[in-house]
Chains A and B, each alone.
Chain A
Amino acid sequence: MRFSTYIVGLCLLLCASVTYASQGVLNVYIWGGEVPDSVIQQFEKETGIKVNYSTYDNNETLYAKLKATKRSGYDIIEPSSYYVDRMRREGMLQVIDRQKLSNYKNLDPSLLNQAYDPTGEYDIPLVWGTTGLFINTKFFSNTTLDQWNQLWNPMYKNKVLLLDDPREVFSMALISLGYSASDSDPQHIKEAYLKLKKLMPNVRLFSSDAVPSLVADDDATVGMIWNGDLHNAREDNPNLKFVYPTEGFGIWVDCFAIPKDAPHLDNAYRFLNFMMRGDVAVQSTLQNNYAVANLAARQLLPKALANDPVIFPSAETLKHGEFQMDVSDEALALYNYYWTLLKIEA
């Protein structure tokens, strides 16, 4: 792999010589669809900094890319909570000096210093959400769905939508068995796999990036869903209902972070402080309906959104929630092994 390092290095050198030529540059690599283009443009306009902006649609891609290149050249990334945990422990992130961020006080304190980043030095939460159940009442009018376990019911044969994400699906199965969503016990993971195997006849599809349109157009009528996606879909299809499962549910937080070797540190801080402004942070939620992790922004939301229990569940409901955590490498290898097995056997 030395050759590849060499080639990649060569390419980066070429890029670098271009970027160093012009002063204000910021290389941003974040989740697709979470920061509107208009916000990026506004930042460029206000600061004169040129933003090189690219996106990914799962944490694994981000992680693989940072692992594959020694100096990725990115200044701002946006891992989800459990990847903040992993990347922080692997020394891939740098400590954020919160003194430099005057808008840090706007953040929702209930999302700070969580187990995935106990000191809160590595992450700046942007949006958060939950994974719950959905059902289309046009197709299932007189059923009560309030538990993950009910997805195994034969009445949902070839109907269920599962997220195309090993951790999400295994968390769901583990919770349904009464275990932790981020369990590392090999025996528990195996039980979850065996349970999921029994669910396969009910599974119609796996998807995670086109969910709102699939659900809105009746292509999937029951299954697991991110709450923001359901909110989007419900605007086109009033028959959709979101349920917080009584057994418990996972909470994810997508957080900005600064990679170890970020070349444009000052600009990265300016970007973070800009993104924590209420009027800026609110734009993300207005676009994608994910709950904003910023109290100043939350006050600017339309009442219908700010008071929607699907997006902002009550403190009572949230008690059953569980922040997604990283799991040990051995456990992750097991999740991945069983995930492949599950799909191969389907």
Chain B
Amino acid sequence: MRHDSAFKIFSLSLIWVWLGLFALLPFLLVLITSFLEPGTTHLIQYHFSLENYHDIFSSIYAKVFVRSFGVAALSTFICLVLAYPFAFFMATAQDKYKNILLLLLIVPFWTSSLIRTYAIIAVIKTKGILNTILLALGIIHHPIEIMFTNTAVMIGLIYNLLPFMILPLYANLERLDFQLLEAARDLGASKLRMFFQIVFPLSMPGVLAGCILVFLPAMTIFYIPDLLGGAKSMLLGNLIQTEFLTIHNWPMGSTTSIILTAIMGLFLWFYWRKTSSADRKDLV
């Protein structure tokens, strides 16, 4: 037993040190930087200021926030609509198919998301696979221009984030007690009613977990609007990237990151309020 507890203390403290050094410390640095001023000869001036926070709530930035929320909400909704039937099918499939489906879902993760985004470009570009096929079949006569539009950004976001919606939904639906459905059928409930009154409410923790996992990255995967959207319209991730790397305003970039973290915290708090600890298994 002594050995056990020594090992436990060792591994736990290792994780605490790791988190402290690589999560908490950087976060604190960003937090501190967000209250400083940008410098000219140095990146940061050690001078306390609330100006960044004042600026971030001005109308220019509001536009980025609103656009990011809109894009994230739409992609989350489409992911949910696409993922739900798939997750349900997977949860109710026979075990041998279930494993194959899971594998198919996870295999793309073995390739970097950036490379998969470049693969999307190869498909949708002017002389891409899609246009070549459609032109060859005579379905269209001029290439469709999908690249560098909001549609392209949406395709990229949904493609990249769909698994994050499917997995928590699947984890939840797999635990669904199907005897409830039999009971409902015996009592004469229609299929639609069974879904909306039993299945969907019971899967709510999974839905929420999936939405959180899709919504937040959708605002911050900066390379998708950059590569597929032509770096034209900024989302929050692009704004942070530009502030840090193009215009060297580290304090403003930090402030934007802090606001984003606050939003994320708000979502998690809401999720925490709405779910019991047993439900929260879906998120992890």
Q: Residues of A at under 8 Å CB distance from B?
A: 1, 3-4, 7, 58, 60-61, 63-64, 67-68, 90, 164, 166, 203-207, 217-219, 329, 336-337, 339-341, 343-346
Contact = CB atoms under 8 A, between A and B. Distances in A.
B201 to A, nearest CB: 40
Contacts of B246: 58, 60, 166, 336, 339
B43 interface: yes
A204 B229 CA distance: 9
Contact of A61 (B25, B32, B245): B245
Contacts of A90: 41
B193 interface: no
Contacts of B148: 204-205, 219
B32 to A, nearest CB: 7
Given A3-B25, A7-B25, 15 more contacts: A1-B44, A58-B245, A58-B246, A60-B245, A60-B247, A64-B248, A166-B247, A206-B232, A207-B231, A218-B127, A339-B247, A340-B239, A341-B60, A344-B60, A344-B64
Interface of B: 25, 28-29, 32-33, 40-44, 46, 60-61, 63-64, 125-127, 143, 147-148, 229-234, 238-239, 242-249
Contacts of B245: 58, 60-61, 64
Residue of A64, A90, A166 with most chain B CB atoms under a 10 A cut-off = A64
A90 B52 CA distance: 26
A215 B32 CA distance: 44
Contacts of B239: 340, 344
Contacts of A345: 60, 63
A205 B232 contact: yes
Contacts of A217: 125-127
A297 B210 CA distance: 59
Main secondary structure of the interface of B (DSSP, over half): loop
Contacts of B127: 217-219
B230 to A, nearest CB: 3
Contacts of B40: 329
Contacts of B125: 217, 219
Instruction: Give 9 closest A-B pairs by Cβ, nearest first.
Output: A205-B230, A336-B247, A329-B40, A206-B231, A205-B148, A217-B127, A218-B126, A346-B232, A219-B126
Nearest to A165: B246
Nearest to B26: A4
A344 B234 CA distance: 6
B41 A343 contact: no
A219 B144 CA distance: 11
5 contacts: A217-B126, A219-B127, A340-B60, A341-B60, A346-B233
Contacts of A68: 43
A236 to B, nearest CB: 11
A206 B230 contact: yes
Contacts of B126: 217-219
B232 A203 contact: yes
Contacts of A60: 245-248
A103 B249 CA distance: 40
Nearest to B125: A219
Contact of A164 (B42, B231, B233): B231
B125 to A, nearest CB: 5
A339 B234 CA distance: 12
A174 to B, nearest CB: 18
Contacts of A329: 40
Contacts of A344: 60-61, 63-64, 234, 239
A63 B248 contact: yes
A341 B33 CA distance: 23
Contacts of A4: 29
A203 B233 CA distance: 11
Given A166-B246, A219-B147, A344-B234, A67 B43 contact: yes
A3 B29 contact: yes
B141 to A, nearest CB: 15
Contacts of B243: 340
A204 B230 contact: yes
Contacts of A346: 232-234
Contacts of B25: 3, 7
A341 B230 CA distance: 16
B236 to A, nearest CB: 11
A61 B248 CA distance: 9
Contacts of B63: 344-345
Nearest to B42: A67
B72 to A, nearest CB: 17
A94 B20 CA distance: 39
Contacts of A336: 246-249
A126 B28 CA distance: 42
B203 to A, nearest CB: 38
A329 B28 CA distance: 28
A206 B32 CA distance: 33
